[in-house]
Structure 1
């Protein structure tokens, strides 16, 4: 599944808050999490001990003098936060590659009907395509900062994703890669001090280019800027990612190497993407949806992963609608795939 998911792509979501302190231990905890980190444990204990103030004839006891702020219990870490924290531990190890979106191979991917129009001007090519093919996706990301940039927990990343559709079952042509999509992107993420419904939130801001690397009549590409709002609670995660497409100039003639190869792509791909993931025992379920309210075009995608052995998981996927690949951005089809993955949907 394409996870854009879902970047998902990603940083620490927790913004510690605390519960009402009623004793010395709570006071020490609050000082540790919100106070001066240079204080020793003994100094914090002394500050939190009850004190007495003499006022002429009376002695006034002041309890917990350090707790002048309301403290709340930290929100429970969700599945997404746990993944982020584990990734940050090894992000700068020299022999570790950090996944961005899903990394998978689907040896079996069927289609209700291949795109007959995109290849019609390539003689001997389209008529030999099989409705059954293989698909794989490789997606990694690289952190660009080793310390906080503007606020605690923020980060800047570069990511690169490749999707490929391989006509391995075709017989009359040399089993070519029918389509390959390349997607480099830069994104910045910052945790939000907002916990609606007891969950954690994060905001990503990014720019990305997506292209199939072909020329002339088979060329497809676009450039986007996006905002990605993520919310998680326990084993559920949600992503809402609206985008803005950067305009390109029109082609002067059909074989013009410059200009927009797909000026109507938003009519089919829409202006946003909604993704959700839920972990239930050993199964992970995911959904991705796009929709254009003006043209009523869009797509829906369902996926599930299940354990096989060690890190290897099974992956089943159903896609219906427009834009399963760039070459098929204006082609409506239903696809069912089965394969393997090494990381979950988020």
Structure 2
């Protein structure tokens, strides 16, 4: 996968990663082989390549936190139908939930190896993402956090020497856990093994991520703390996610879609980032479908939000 723009935009991912693994690029020359030269002449780095290259320059610095997914705050996040059913046994919640709330996401990743693992340019990461939905406008219930989702994951990324349409490709294999940290009737969680195919060309990037759920034992009773909290979650969350992104001037436009072909349930999400001031970006999003959060995995809704992002989608 020919990647990245540094001083030379014909460098491959393997060359860039090798160059940035040392303290300075000048301390270790990049490999120069006829094979990598011939491949790099046919392709140019795209959005994914540029991001990975920029991260590789600082990700081992002690005071640098590398973003994984987006980091953002949506002070205004509306829904056409708030999910009240799970809170029927929580005193005061069901009737007082507001249909406008705030949401934020914090996400980072840590590289686990400084050297290539199996092939030139590959990498192993630990990632963590936290999402929180805050009922900041619900005066009658003391503005609680309605839902919080925690998502640790371990994943391996590697480039491919395949350049369809003059673009670059890579693959990811990972395992992730996602839960809301609640108990009994409000508890939701699942574990997934996923694969991911990445394609980039110029200002366009595409991601296709299918997954399989790690099975869990059935609960002996609905209030049993052990066992599967949500055995039908794949009926609503689907079996794959398709993502596309296009960078236009200083803006990024994003599409994500999930689907289960058997139940025809899933979701569509649109996103837009745009410049504000300094490092801050504006972020607008729209969502329709199931699974906007774990507590809402089987609840269909339409949501709109606007706020501030600390980093772009890519």
User: TM-score w.r.t. structure 1 length?
Assistant: 0.81
Q: CA RMSD in A?
A: 1.8
Instruction: Quote how far apart the aligned CAs of 1:70 are.
Output: 6.7
Per-residue deviation, residues 35-55 of structure 1 (Å, max 9, x unmatched): 69xxxxxxxxxxxxxxxxxxx
- Where structure 1 has 5 or more consecutive residues not aligned to the other structure, the ranges are 1-11, 17-30, 37-68
Match of 1:278 in 2: 246
- In the alignment, is residue 319 of structure 1 matched against residue 287 of structure 2? yes
SS in structure 1 at match of 2:139:
coil
Superposition deviation, residue 276 in structure 1: 0.6
Report the Cα distance in structure 1 between the residues aligned to 2:96 and 2:12, rounded to whole angstroms: 49
In the TM superposition, what is the alpha-carbon distance from 1:14 to its structure 2 partner? 3.6
Give 1:195's match in structure 2, choosing from 146, 153, 163. 163
Q: What is the DSSP-based 3-state SS (H/G/I as helix, E as strand, rest coil) of the residue aligned with 1:118?
A: helix
Cα distance in 1 between the residues matched to 2:60 and 2:40: 33
Higher Cα radius of gyration: 1
Kindly indicate whether the alpha-carbon contact (under 8 Å) linking 1:14 and 1:75 is maintained by their aligned counterparts in 2.
no
Distance 2:50 2:38 in 1: 27
- Summarize the alignment of residues 174-323 of structure 1 with structure 2, pairs less than 5 Å apart: 174-323=142-291
3-state SS of 1:121 partner: coil
Once residues 106 and 12 of structure 2 are traced to their aligned partners in structure 1, the CA distance between those partners, rounded to angstroms, is 25
Question: Is 2:290–2:296's contact at 8 Å kept on the other side of the alignment?
Answer: yes
Partner of 2:90: 122
How far apart in 2 are the matches of 1:162 and 1:329? 17
> 2:253·2:271 contact (CA, 8 Å) conserved in 1?
yes
State the 1:119 CA deviation: 1.0
Aligned to 1:26: none
Q: How many residues align?
A: 289
Q: TM-score, normalised by structure 2?
A: 0.89
> Stretches of 4+ moved more than 3 A in 1?
12-16, 69-72
Whether the aligned pair in 1 keeps the contact of 2:181 and 2:187 (CA below 8 Å) is yes
Match of 2:124 among 156, 170, 174: 156
What are the residue-to-residue correspondences of 1:19-168 with 2, within 5 Å? Answer: 33-34=32-33, 73-168=41-136
Structure 2: where are the runs of 5+ without partners? 1-10, 16-29
